[in-house]
């Protein structure tokens, strides 16, 4: 960002104030979205019936991978956290932040005509119903309305996977990171960060299960984790 700014010649592009403002704009969404995603994933996991063994399975995977790499969380080790990766992808599908996706602005001066004849004027902002796509049984089967932590890792472990559906893999039916040439460029960093957060959490702490997941709070087109929800967490071997 700084290098690109200094390629310009105007003071408004190269001033310290302008650079700081742009970096703050980048830092805010990077921190807030990761925080929301991590919170949603934790709530989704601990609200799953303990009989399904999701939390125990995540703990086993994180502990095993950590030991195999002697505690060195390198890129290869993080890539082996396929259950945690699946959990994050599923949580972002099931408890996504945005209600719409692929937001675009019409640029042609004479507007744009869609295949069905609908005309969109220049400057109009358009998008698609992300929630509808993420909960469509045609995309995710009869359990589309259920949180299934290992929906995407199960085929890999069973050797039946026919497509690559990692947390960072975008598609027309998974729009958390947008899709196409404008997919989020920071998603790989965010994915590694979130996987390490969950791995550290399940390895070092116990979280008391919840009978019911507290609903998220809608703010316009955005859904954020419940502001008043509480979780009971203790270090392993401690007391609630």
- The pLDDT averaged over each successive group of 10 residues in the chain (240 residues) is 69 79 76 92 97 96 97 96 98 93 93 94 94 97 97 95 93 95 91 97 96 93 91 82
| Residue 205 confidence (pLDDT) | 96
Which helix (H) or strand (E) element contains residue 128? strand 125-129
Residue 223 to residues 25, 155, 159, 217, 228, Cα–Cα distance (Å): 20, 29, 35, 5, 14
Whole-angstrom Cα distance, residue 1 to residue 5?
Answer: 6
Distance of CA 7 to the CA centre of its chain: 33
Residues 85, 87, 90, 92: is their CA dihedral positive or negative? negative
| Residue 1 confidence (pLDDT) | 64
Pairing of strands 217-219, 100-105: unpaired
| Residue 237 confidence (pLDDT) | 79
- Residue ranges for the binding site? 184
Whole-angstrom Cα distance, residue 145 to residue 6?
Answer: 49
- The CATH code belonging to domain 16-235 is 1.10.630.10
Whole-angstrom Cα distance, residue 209 to residue 87?
Answer: 16
CA-based nearest residue to 153, from 139, 169, 138: 169
Let me know: does 170 contact 188? Beta carbons within 8 Å: no
Whole-angstrom Cα distance, residue 160 to residue 163?
Answer: 9
Rounded to the nearest 5°, which phi and psi values hold at 24? -65, -40
DSSP state for residue 180 in the 8-state scheme: G
Let me know: does 44 contact 147? Beta carbons within 8 Å: yes
- Residue ranges for the binding site for heme? 184
């Amino acid at each position: 960002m700084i290098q690109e700014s200094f390629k310009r010649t105007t003071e408004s592009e190269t001033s310290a104030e302008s650079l700081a403002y742009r970096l703050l704009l980048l830092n805010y969404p990077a921190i807030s979205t990761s925080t929301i995603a991590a919170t949603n994933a934790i709530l989704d996991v601990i609200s799953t019936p303990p009989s399904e063994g999701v939390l125990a399975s995540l703990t086993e995977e994180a502990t095993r991978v950590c030991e195999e790499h002697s505690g060195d969380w390198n890129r290869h080790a993080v890539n082996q956290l396929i259950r945690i990766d699946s959990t994050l992808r599923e949580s972002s599908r099931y408890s996504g932040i945005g209600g719409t996706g692929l937001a675009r602005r019409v640029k042609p001066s004479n507007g744009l005509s869609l295949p069905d004849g609908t005309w969109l004027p220049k400057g109009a902002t358009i998008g698609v119903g992300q929630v509808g796509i993420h909960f469509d049984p045609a995309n995710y089967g009869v359990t589309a309305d259920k949180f299934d932590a290992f929906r995407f890792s199960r085929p890999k472990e069973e050797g039946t996977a026919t497509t690559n559906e990692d947390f960072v893999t975008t598609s027309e039916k998974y729009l958390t990171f947008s899709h196409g040439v404008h997919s989020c460029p920071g998603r790989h960093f965010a994915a590694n960060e979130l996987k390490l957060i969950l791995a550290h959490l399940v390895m070092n702490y116990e979280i008391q299960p919840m009978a019911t997941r507290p609903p998220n709070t809608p703010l316009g087109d955005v859904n954020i984790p419940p502001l008043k929800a509480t979780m009971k967490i203790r270090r392993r071997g401690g007391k609630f």
